[in-house]
Amino acid sequence: MHWADYTAQRLMERGGKQVSASGITPSGEFHIGHLREILSAEMIHRACLDAGMSSKYIFIVDSMDPLRRVYDFLSPEYEEFIGCPLAYIPAPEEDGSPGDGSVTYANHFLSPFLEALEQIGVKPEVVMNHETYEKGLFAEYIDSAITNREEIRRIIQQISGRELPSDWFPYNPMGSGGSMDGVTVTGYEKPYVIWRDSAGVEGKSDIRKAHGKMPWRVDWAARWAIHGITCEPAGKDHGAAGGSYDTGIPICRLLGGDPPDKIVYEWIQLKGMGPMSSSSGLTIGPMEALSLVPPEILRYVIARSKINRHIEFDTGSALFQTADEYERLVSNPIRDGEEMSKRQMVAAETQRGAIRLSQVNPESDPIDSVGGVSFRHLSMLAQIKSSDEDVWSSLNRSGHIEGDPSDSLRVRLARMRSWIGGAHFPEDAKLEIRSEIGDDARAEIGEDGIAFLRKLSDLLSECEWTDAGIGESISKACDSTGVSRKEGFASIYWAIIGRRHGPKASSLLFEIERGDVVSLLGSS
């Protein structure tokens, strides 16, 4: 059973309406590492719906979180906003200086991320946490936390193993300048928290309004109760022993809520570079990833991996293998059979679940995402055909499509050209069709290979110019000259693209004019 379906079955035992959730702090540019939490929650939500359960998915934006420091992309002017909620400070201009306030800091970074989520098929109910505070939905939980603050202090200290300061309070009010930094709580008279800020100004905050917020460990526990959350995957930082998940569960119960079961996911890391981090700049943004990778493949990267296993995101050569695997499972789905072992049946069910949950539209047929053209074949055409019209003409000629390409295929080609033209495209996948066989290639081919290429040239001059006809000619040339298939293909690649390996040889030759191929191979 796929991990999302397994989790849905556990949630069914819990009973009632299911609410899957994920959250994010809009403090800077998002990266695809954030997608693991979001897609994990969304896939569990989909699995619940597929199991016939009532379920919704909410995406909580931690817009009440404060600006913690002046990040590298911000100007020093943001110093005055440290400690202020992200929902109440201006978005940065291109030079990093504060804008006019028409767009908030939170919305500035959130909007493009939501656009990326929509492209990948994620359409959550967006909850801005500052609005939840503004509506007073936190008020009863703030009051309960203050009333039970010594018990909450004991829970946090005992489970996390860290000592809280003597003046710790389960609510951080905003001072006279709008910042929550340097504000000391001096009393509580429901519904007001009395305070004095670092400037010596005294005031009071109404817990029914967004005049402050609870510390993260208490805030998280309270939102589980407020929104009735039954499932919220968390990263291994929050899910580690003594982390905020472990403290959140008893705090939620103390506040009168029913916490979700603990679900921990591993991080996504860039191939050979470790976990992605916004602060270190080691990132690939979701929009950048979607400009390279079809959304179904990006979803598949998450869906195929067990939730507790880390994912290495490789935008280089491994992307071909991932696409091959996806296309193979879509085009030739594994079906249960009498001869299958229990292990094979489990694997088949898991793979079917991964493909089902990889679709942008849950109602679509997965085969539509392939569109009759493999990722590798489209990569080859995008490199050797200068115009899109030439690509469509070639696909019609080869029988991959009939008539005009679908909209999804047009988008796939645009993404492919973006990948090929960018920094992530692997060197060993780049194609440059040779007009003559160089001395270095001739040396690699050898005498037997030269004889093979000359024979192949003769056969290709007369064969049916189709993928199948060319493939048959290659086989005949190998048999006629005693060259192995492996060395025959290697000779073709050395002659055509100047290296030992390449795309399917018959498909590659088919895309080049017959006269050019015959002339090049015959000149060997």
Nearest by Cα to 128 from 205, 26, 46 = 26
Give the single-character DSSP code of 202.
Answer: E
The residue extents of the domains of the chain are 3-138+218-265, 375-429, 439-522
Cβ neighbors of 504 (< 8 A, separation 6 or more) are 376, 377
Distance CA 21, CA 482 (A): 63
Tell me if the domain spanning 439-522 has CATH number 1.20.1260.60. Answer: no
104: β partners: 90
Cβ neighbors of 224 (< 8 A, separation 6 or more) are 232, 248, 252, 257, 258, 259, 260
Distance CA 249, CA 263 (A): 12
Nearest by Cα to 45 from 106, 110, 125, 112 = 125
- Each residue's pLDDT expressed in tens, for the chain with a length of 524 residues: 899 999 999 999 999 999 999 999 999 888 777 888 999 999 999 999 999 999 999 999 999 999 999 999 999 999 999 999 999 999 999 999 999 999 999 999 999 889 989 989 999 999 999 999 999 999 999 999 999 999 999 999 999 999 999 999 999 999 999 999 999 999 999 999 999 999 999 999 999 999 999 999 999 999 999 999 999 999 888 888 999 999 999 999 999 999 999 999 987 776 654 454 444 444 566 667 777 788 999 899 999 999 988 888 777 788 888 999 999 999 888 776 667 788 888 888 899 999 999 999 999 999 988 888 999 999 999 999 989 999 999 999 999 999 999 988 999 999 999 889 888 888 888 999 999 998 999 999 999 999 999 999 999 999 999 999 999 999 999 999 999 999 999 999 999 999 999 999 999 999 999 999 999 999 87
Give the single-character DSSP code of 315.
Answer: -
CB atoms within 10 A of CB 386: 9
Query: Strand runs (DSSP E) across 121-229, as ranges?
Result: 125-128, 172-173, 184-189, 192-196, 202-206, 212-213
Task: Note whether 3-138+218-265 and 439-522 share their fold.
Answer: no
CATH no. of 3-138+218-265: 3.40.50.620
**pTM of the predicted model as reported, rounded to 2 decimal places:** 0.89
231 and 7 Cβ atoms separated by less than 8 Å? yes
Classify the C-alpha dihedral 161-162-166-172 as positive or negative. Answer: negative
For tokens 């909410």, the residue is 58
Count of residues in the chain:
524
Q: What angle do the packed helices 342-357 and 3-14 form, to 10 degrees?
A: 90
Classify the C-alpha dihedral 121-124-128-131 as positive or negative. Answer: positive
Distance CA 401, CA 395 (A): 6
